[in-house]
Structure 1
Amino acid sequence: MHDSLVLDRVTRHYKQVRALDALSMTVGGGELFGFVGGNGAGKTTAMRIVLGVLAADSGTVYWRGRPLDLAARRRIGYMPEERGLYPKMGAREQLVHFARLHGVDPAGARRRADHWLERFGLADRARDEVANLSLGNQQRVQLAAALVHDPVLLVLDEPFSGLDPAAVDEMSAVLRERAAEGAPVLFSSHHLELVERLCDRIGIIKEGALVAEGTVEELRSGGPRRYAVRVEPGEAQGNWVERVPGARAVGDDQGAVIVELPGGTDDQDLLRAALAAGPVRSFTPHLPRLAELYRETVEPVRGGSAADTADAAPAAERSAV
C-alpha cells in the first residue's frame, strides 16, 4: 500500500519497564484504524514514537515505504490525549499559529483556520479564548488544529473523550472524509461501540504487544464457536448445557444462553440437549461484539501493570507533547 504507516517491531523501555514489545502493525491509506487497549497498554507511547516525541529503542516506523523522518512528520495531524491548546489564545489565532508551525504561508494559514472554524460551527467564536469555550468546542478546536495544515496522516489519541453525541457524530464524519480522501487515520478510543461502528480495522494492544488485529468481522468470527440458545423453561430445564461434553455457558443475551462449543463438537449435539430441556425458541450462531472480545482479550490488571507505570512515569516526556 503506497500511503501506509508501518510500525515494524517497535520496542520501547522506561528503565526496567517494557512499554512496547516488538509492536508491529500497518495502517493503510484511506483506512480508519482503531487502536484499543487498557490504560497504560502502550497506545500513547506508540503514537509518540510515530510523532518523534519519543525514540524507539529498536524497530522502525515507515511512511510510504521509507523510515519516517522529520519532513514527513510535519505532514502528520496529531491530537494528543492531554489537549495541547493555549488556553488564553483566541481560537482563530491559535489555528493560524499551528498552521504556520507546519510550514503553511500566512495567507493560507488564515484561510484554512477560517475554513475549519466554519466547518465546526465556531466562526462566531473565532476570537474567544479557548479557556472560555465549552469542552466540546475545545475539542473541536483541537481537531481543527490537527487538520489545519492539510495532513497526509492523522494520529489521534482519545479524540472522542468527553464529547456529546452530536459532537461525536461530527468528528466521526470528519474522520471518514479524511480517510475517503486517502489519508490513513489511526486513533485510540475507549468507546468500543463507536470503534466497532466506525473503523475498517482494529488492533487490540496489551502490555505493549498487539494481541489481536483485523476487521470487525474477522475479529468477531475468529474466536471459538458460540451459539445463542433460547429454551422455554420446563421440568427438564436444569443445567442442560453440561450434557454436551466440553460445552460451557459463557453468558446470556436477552434470555438466550450463550454456549461455547469445543472444536470437533457437532452443533446438533447441542441442539438435541436443548430440545431435551424444553421447547427451543431460537438457536443461532453468536458472534461476539467488540466489547466482549475486548474483555476476553484484555484481562483487567489489579494494582497497575508494568505498562501503566511506563506510560505514567516520565512526566517530562508526557508534558512535551
Structure 2
Amino acid sequence: VARGMTPMGTEYPNQTVVSHFFLEGLLYTAEHPALFFLLFLLIYTVTVAGNLLILLTVGSDPHLRSPMYHFLGHLSFLDACLSTVTVPKVMAGLLSRDGKVIPFEGCAVQLYSFHFLASTECFLYTVMAYDRYLAICQPLHYPVAMNRRMCAGLAGVTWATGAIHSAIHTSLTFHLLYCGPHHIAYFFCDIPPVLKLACADTTINELVMLANIGIVAAGCLILIFVSYVFIAAAVLRIRTAEGRQRAFSTCTAHLTVVFLYYLPPVCIYLQPRSSGAGAGAPAVFYTIITPMLNPFIYTLRNKEVKRALRRLLCLSPRVSQVGSPPP
C-alpha cells in the first residue's frame, strides 16, 4: 500500500491507500473450480465465436446492407468485448488465488470498460428500436431518413455517449479514498461493490449513480416502449396475416434481447447496498449469458441472417441467377 495519498493526489494524514483489490468471485464456484473454469471457458468461446461470426457475416454479405444489420454488427462487437472485460478475470480467479488480485488501476480500467460497453449497448438498443419504427411506420421515408451517413452518425453518438457516461461514474468512484479493506464481494469491479470499500461517505455517489443510471435506463426504455407502441399500431393495420407476421418477425429478436438486457441490472443498481457474492447472479446473466445468447436469438429469429450464414459457411450450393446462361 501507498501511504498518505489518494489516487487523485490528495493527502490524508495517517491513512493508507490500497494498491490492489481482491475479487472474491462468484458464490459456490470455489467448491468446484475446475468444473466452473471449463464452463466459463465454453461460454466465453461460444460468445466470442458467435458474435464474431455474426459480425463477419454482416460485414461480408451484400444482402445484409440494411441499417438493421449495420446496428447488429455493432451489437455483436459490443457483446464480444463486454464478455472479454469480465469472463477472463473470472477464469483466472478459478485457476489460482493470485488470479483474483486486480491492481487499483486495473480495477478502474475494468469498471470504466464495463460501463462504457454496457451503456453504449443500452443506447444502441434504443437506436435499433428507432430504426424499426422508421422501417415499419414510415417505410417510404425510411431510405432517406436512415441513410448510410445517418447510420454512421447514430452509431458514433452511441459510442461517444457511452464513453462520457462511463467516465463520469469512474471518476466519481475512484475520486474517493480507499484505505482498506480491499476484498470486493463480487466477480468484477462494479460501482456498488467498490463503493462499499470506500473510506468516505458514499451517499452522494450512490445518489448520482441511481439518478444517472436510472435516468439513462428509464429514458431508453421509455423511448423503446413508445417506438413499439407505434410499431404495434402500424402492424395491426396491415391487412394480411403474412404481412403482420413478417413485420413482427423483424422486431421479436430485438424485444427479446432488450428484455434479457434490462431486467437484471434493475435488480442490482436499484439496491446498491445489497451487493455481495450472492448478488452476482443477476450480473452473470446480463454480462456473461446474454452476450452468448444474442447471436442465437438473432440467427434463429431472422431468416436473412440464417441464409447469409449458410452462404458464408458454404453449407448451401450457389444458385445461378434467373436468366443467366448455363455454364
- Taking structure 2 as the reference length, what is the TM-score of the superposition? 0.21
- Taking structure 1 as the reference length, what is the TM-score of the superposition? 0.21
Which structure features the higher share of strand residues?
A: 1
Which structure features the higher share of helix residues?
A: 2
